[in-house]
Every structure is written in C-alpha cells, then in structure tokens.
C-alpha cells in the first residue's frame, strides 16, 4: 500500500459539486460471482453513506460544502413508478440537515441536491419536479437524467439502461422544457460518442443551464480499450463545439471511472496523484481552454472515482492540474463556479 500523500494547498476552499450516497446491497445480490466490472467502478463498495463520505471529506482537503448527485438510491417503493424518485431527495435532505448541525465538522454536505425525474413523461414530468422541489426544499437545485449509451453493452454493463438517442427524443424534450419553467439545472451524463446529442440539446434550449458531467466521458475500456489517443481529436472537437453554447458548463473529473481507463486497472491506491494528473491533463486542459475558468468546476465523482485512489489523492491530482492557474481562477474552479451554478453561494462566506 502506498503511504498517504501530503495534502496539496490544504487551505484552498473546495465545493465538491458531484458525489453520491447509496446503499446498493440489493444490486450486489443480483450479480453472480465474480462481480460484474461495474461494481469495481464503485470500489467494490455497495454501501457509501454519511459516515463514509464525511470521513473522506475530513481527509485533509478543505471541503466547505458539496452537491449531491442522483444515483438511483433510496427510492420510495410506496410511491408510483414516476414518484418513487422523491425518496432519494428526502433521504439526502436529511443527510444535509445532519451535516448542517455542525456536529460533524465544518463541511456542509449536500448543500445542493440534484435528483432525478424521468423527462420522458413529457409535460407530466412537471408534477415530479414539483414533488422533488417540495421534498428537497431550498437545497434542491435540479435533476440529472443520464443518457449514457453505447451499441456495445459491455461498455457500461447491465447496471445502466439508458435508451439510444434519449436527448433527441420528443417526449424527453417536452419534459426537459419543464425545467426552465422552474429555474432548475440539468446535469447531462453521456459517453464521448454521444456529445453531439448534448450539443443539439443545448442549442435547442439556449436559456437552460446544462452541466456536462465528467469531461464528456472519454472511453478507454471494453471495445474502446487502447483507443483513447485514437479518439482524442474527435472528443476535443466535440468539446470545443459544445463550449460555444454559453448555457453549458463542464465538470472536470470522472476520468477515473472504469469506463475511461485512466488508470486502466483498479480499484487501486498505488497510483500517485502526479501520475493521475499526467493521464488526465489533456482532457482537463482542453476543457478549461474551451469553456474558460468561469464555466468549469472540479469534481470528485466519489465514490466512483475511488477506482483511482483515495478522496485525498483524487483532489491532489485535480489541484496539480490547476497548478498554473491564478488564485482567482482557482477560487472559481474549485468553489465559485459550483456555488453560482447550483445557487449555494452562501457557502462562500465560509472562505
């Protein structure tokens, strides 16, 4: 086991705009041994809740607050199929209140909450959005409806069942329009070959804030293994085109997902933050160059990015990637942009 690294810039305030909380024990039981590679992307951990996350945020970096990202956990089975997603937001609101008590340190977990609604419900999705907003209170900010898909089912595995071309679907877009009526954000997760779908969506709804997760998820596993370099220019061209849409911001992270293959093997704690930064730099530098430091934010994507190492190591790698930025740019990339986009600017008072 590699000894823990010294924390880089420990006083730099961070708002982690993308992490999960879950209990996937039921999912774990659905897979035969050996576990499907998807479970490896979560560090073979079927359980990641408040205590584990707070221990990670206390590992040396100055995490002043976080944004929870939906992950299909803690749904309320007593509700209808459309409304059961409200249970996740209710759970997370409780976590946020627990953290806000101050009994667990200075970090304010889940100060922003991003839930899920099936936008294929069309205009009826508005009822779900209203229920989510009521359940989450002022901490609720918007939704993510992931659209990650690939023709090769081994790329994502059976844990994901998003339909092809989701973001171009007419019913989805009817539901998508309901977000703007309520001033809610939208997080988009697609794979690199699908970035054109996000570009088309952003152009069709120029007033809707869209957050692109995980640098657009370049792929380096399954049928894409060994093809990161081959597909880099295609990815970069798409990122530059998407960045022309002023309503889009990008999250810098998620590159440690098993899908990306950076590193190729995991979960691991033997890859240094310096090595991780070297792997990720072409993607992060491209995103910052395209979107500018005012429309980009670093993310942990934890515990999924546990594939690459500890929470402390991942943030060390991200800080290395920002080593050439000015102090003002670092404030934006690590906290300010997340605070603005998710309307949690009160956290900046803690800096």
Per the structure, the count of domains in the chain is 1
What tokens were used for 202?
A: 């952003």
Q: Is residue 29 part of a domain?
A: yes
- The strand pair at 108-115 and 296-298 is best described as unpaired
Domain that holds residue 247: 13-350
pLDDT number for residue 44: 47
Q: Is residue 5 part of a domain?
A: no
Burial of 343 (0-12, 13-18, 19+ CB in 10 A): middle
The CATH number given to whatever domain includes residue 208 is: 3.20.20.140
- Please report the sign of the dihedral spanned by the C-alpha atoms of residue 154, residue 156, residue 160, residue 162: negative
Q: Is residue 340 part of a domain?
A: yes
pLDDT number for residue 18: 98
pLDDT number for residue 147: 97
Q: Which residues contact 101 (CB under 8 A, 6 or more apart)?
A: none
Can you name the residues that pair with 297 across neighbouring β-strands? 251
Q: Is residue 91 part of a domain?
A: yes
Taking each helix axis from N to C end, the angle separating 228-243 and 273-291, rounded to the nearest 10 degrees, works out to: 40
Count Cα neighbours of 169 within 13 Å in the Cβ-side half-sphere.
17
Give, for all 351 residues of the chain, the pLDDT tens digit.
Answer: 577 899 999 999 999 999 999 987 665 555 444 444 445 444 446 789 999 999 999 999 999 999 999 999 999 999 999 999 999 999 999 999 999 999 999 999 999 999 999 999 999 999 999 999 999 999 999 999 999 999 998 888 766 778 999 999 999 999 999 999 999 999 999 999 999 999 999 999 999 999 999 999 999 999 999 999 999 999 999 999 999 999 999 999 999 998 899 999 888 889 999 999 999 999 999 999 999 999 999 999 999 999 999 999 999 999 999 999 999 999 999 999 999 999 999 999 988
Q: Looking at the chain, how many residues does it have?
A: 351
Q: How far is CA 122 from the centre of its chain?
A: 24
- The strand pair at 140-144 and 185-188 is best described as parallel
Is 98:51 a contact under the CB 8 Å cutoff?
no
What tokens were used for 5?
A: 């690294």
Q: Is residue 4 part of a domain?
A: no
pLDDT number for residue 28: 57
pLDDT number for residue 159: 65
Q: Is residue 258 part of a domain?
A: yes
pLDDT number for residue 161: 72
Q: Is residue 8 part of a domain?
A: no
Q: Is residue 3 part of a domain?
A: no
């Amino acid at each position: 086991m590699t000894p823990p690294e010294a924390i880089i810039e420990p006083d730099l305030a961070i708002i982690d705009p993308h992490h999960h909380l879950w209990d996937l024990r039921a999912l774990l039981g659905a897979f035969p041994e050996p576990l499907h590679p998807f479970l490896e992307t979560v560090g073979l951990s079927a359980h990641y809740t408040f205590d584990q996350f707070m221990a990670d945020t206390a590992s040396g970096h100055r995490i002043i607050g976080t944004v929870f990202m939906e992950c299909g956990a803690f749904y309320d089975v007593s509700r209808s199929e459309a409304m059961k997603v409200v249970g996740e937001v209710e759970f997370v609101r409780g976590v946020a209140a627990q953290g806000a008590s101050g009994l667990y340190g200075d970090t304010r977990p889940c100060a922003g909450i991003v839930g899920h609604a099936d936008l294929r419900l069309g205009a009826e999705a508005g009822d779900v959005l209203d229920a989510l907003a009521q359940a989450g209170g002022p901490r609720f900010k918007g939704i993510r409806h992931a659209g990650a898909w690939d023709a090769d089912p081994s790329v994502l595995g059976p844990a994901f069942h998003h339909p092809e071309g989701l973001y171009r679907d007419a019913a989805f877009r009817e539901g998508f329009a309901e977000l703007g009526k309520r001033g809610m954000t939208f997080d988009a997760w697609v794979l690199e070959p699908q970035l054109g779908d996000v570009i088309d969506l952003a152009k069709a709804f120029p007033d809707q804030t869209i957050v692109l997760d995980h640098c657009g998820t370049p792929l380096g596993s399954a049928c894409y293994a060994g093809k990161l370099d081959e597909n880099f220019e295609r990815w970069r061209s798409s990122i530059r085109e998407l960045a022309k849409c002023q309503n889009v911001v990008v999250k810098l992270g998620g590159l440690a997902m098993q899908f990306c293959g950076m590193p190729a093997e995991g979960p691991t704690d033997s890859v240094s933050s310096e090595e991780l930064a070297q792997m990720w730099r072409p993607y992060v530098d491209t995103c910052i160059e395209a979107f500018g430091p005012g429309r980009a934010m670093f993310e942990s994507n934890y515990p999924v990015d546990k594939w690459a190492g500890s929470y402390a190591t991942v943030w060390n790698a991200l800080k290395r990637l920002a080593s050439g930025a000015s102090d003002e740019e670092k404030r934006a990339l690590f906290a300010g942009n997340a605070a603005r986009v998710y309307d949690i600017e009160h956290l900046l008072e803690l800096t």
